[in-house]
Amino acid sequence: MSYREYAFKVRETIKKHHQWMSKSLPMIASENITSALVREVTASDFAHRYAEGKPGKRLYQGCKYIDEVENIAVDLAKKLFDAPYVNVLPTSGVVSNLSVYTAFSKPGDTLMALKVTHGGHISHAELSAAGVRGLKVKTFPFDHEKMNIDVEKSIEKIREVKPRIILFGASVFLFPHPVRELREAADEVGATVMYDAAHVLGLIAGGEFQQPLKEGVDVISSSRHKTFPGPQGGIILAKEEYSKIIDRAVFPGLVSNHHLHHLAGLAVALAEMLEFGKSYASQIVKNSKALAKALDDRGFNVLCKDQGYTKSHHVLVDVSEQGGGTFVAETLEKANIIINKNLLPWDDISKAANPSGIRLGTQELTRIGMKEGEMEEVADFFKRLVIDRESVEKVKNDVVEMRENFTEVRYAFDSQNPYKYYEFL
């Protein structure tokens, strides 16, 4: 092919992706879709520009309107999260985490976080961002039954290892973490209390999860594209007293230009969440609970039944009796149901290629208007494919037909714009 043909092949391939997603049930817990207005501003000239430094004190000229948008984003974030200090420069959730590590620790210090197999994010581990900073990682004792941090054992371990940073938050985050319960132990050893809110930021914004800053957290790091329906990137929320050390760590430490088109999209998404966040977050949790119960009723081993399954967008299912996480995820994908396989607490890390579980998220289905009744239908699809082993093509046709009724992005200022607004491709 010519170079021109390669270029247009990229365009056509993206179009195929869009068409596929518009006929699918996307249930990856770490994804969401943005509104048409967010997409519009992210496609603006901001995508081509640089703005190193702070508003009004840039190292480049031509930033007066960029400064205005950044100030709007910061002001809206402070209001939405009731946060004294906000930094919107990090370009990802991992960069947010690394910025906080840099601000509050030095190489050789100890970080306490969840083990990856217990739901911790890879950036909380020594093989990723924590190791890049040179931190030694000790893990929280974990209660497999409650799928949460074991409070009493963690208090003992905090006193024993004296971590410099205690990190709450996870990639499998069914229930709020015990921030209040461990704050006193953190104070005893002089630890900074950090909270990675990447998965639950939208739920926090909507008042449907815990409120970390009010419960004793010093600093929140997060991405902004999971339950929070913004463009990809990062954000840091903290007590005002930490503003200078975080600012230095972020810029000039780890961020140069901060992806200004995504900054503009963030500002719009913050405004949308101030308007619609409570109703959106509430429906996400309702849908998660409804989906979990529906799957349980149909013979799936949904974790934490005695605790109401979940208080977030996550639903975690042990599918070891149905062929394992890889088989289930790949089978569902063939029928246009997009999920991910996931390690469960009793899995060894060596099982990552074929873990026992699957992790489901309801935030994207919620954003296109699905409610509890649709969760029953989704659970039926799972049963037909995974337990009944019905024809994939037959189920796929039913998935596509169902999805035709959900083509608009809700909880947005432009909610009447169809989800198919990308058809200009």
DSSP run (H or E) holding 11: helix 3-22
Instruction: Quick: pLDDT tens for 366-375.
Output: 999 999 999 9
Residue 232 has which token pair?
């990809």
Q: Is residue 364's pLDDT more than 90?
A: yes
Q: What is the pLDDT of residues 195-211, one digit of tens each?
A: 999 999 999 999 999 99
- pLDDT tens digits for range 300-331: 999 999 999 999 999 999 999 999 999 999 99
What pTM does this model have? 0.96
Tokens of 404: 């035709």
| Confidence band for 349, pLDDT divided at 50, 70 and 90 | confident
| pLDDT (average), residues 103-124 | 96
The confidence score (pLDDT) of residue 228 equals 98
**Residue 418: predicted pLDDT:** 54
Q: CA nearest 342: which of 29, 123, 25, 24?
A: 29
Q: Is 52 exposed, middle or buried (0-12, 13-18, 19+ CB in 10 A)?
A: middle
φ, ψ at 58 (rounded to 5°): -80, 155
Q: What is the pLDDT of residue 414?
A: 72
Question: CB–CB of 341/325 below 8 Å?
Answer: yes
Residue 413 pLDDT exceeds 60: yes
pLDDT in tens, 9-54: 999 999 999 999 999 999 999 999 999 999 999 999 999 999 999 9
Q: CA-CA distance, 262 to 255, in Å (whole number)?
A: 14
What letter represents residue 106's amino acid? K
Rounded to an integer, the average pLDDT of 79-86 is: 98
Give the Cα separation of 84 and 79 in Å (integer): 9
For the ranges 221-230, 349-358, 381-390, the lowest mean pLDDT is seen at 349-358
**What mean pLDDT do residues 183-190 have?**
98
In this model, does residue 420 exceed pLDDT 70? no
* CB atoms inside a 10 Å sphere around CB 151: 17
Q: Is the pLDDT of residue 113 over 70?
A: yes
Q: Is the peptide bond before 252 cis (omega within 30 degrees of 0)?
A: yes
SS3 of residue 419 by DSSP: helix
Domains within the chain, CATH numbers bracketed: 39-270 (3.40.640.10), 276-424 (3.90.1150.10)
pLDDT above 90: percentage of residues in the chain: 95
pLDDT digits (tens, 9 = 90+) for 231-277: 999 999 999 999 999 999 999 999 999 999 999 999 999 999 999 99
Type and span of the H or E element at 340: strand 340-342
Q: State mean pLDDT over 163-175.
A: 97
- Tokens at 18, concatenated: 């869009």
Strands 110-113, 165-168: pairing is: parallel
Asked if residue 421 has pLDDT above 50, the reply is: no
Tokens read off for 368: 């296109």
Q: Look over the chain and give the mean of its residue pLDDT values, rounded to a whole number.
A: 95
Question: DSSP 3-state assignment of 142?
Answer: strand
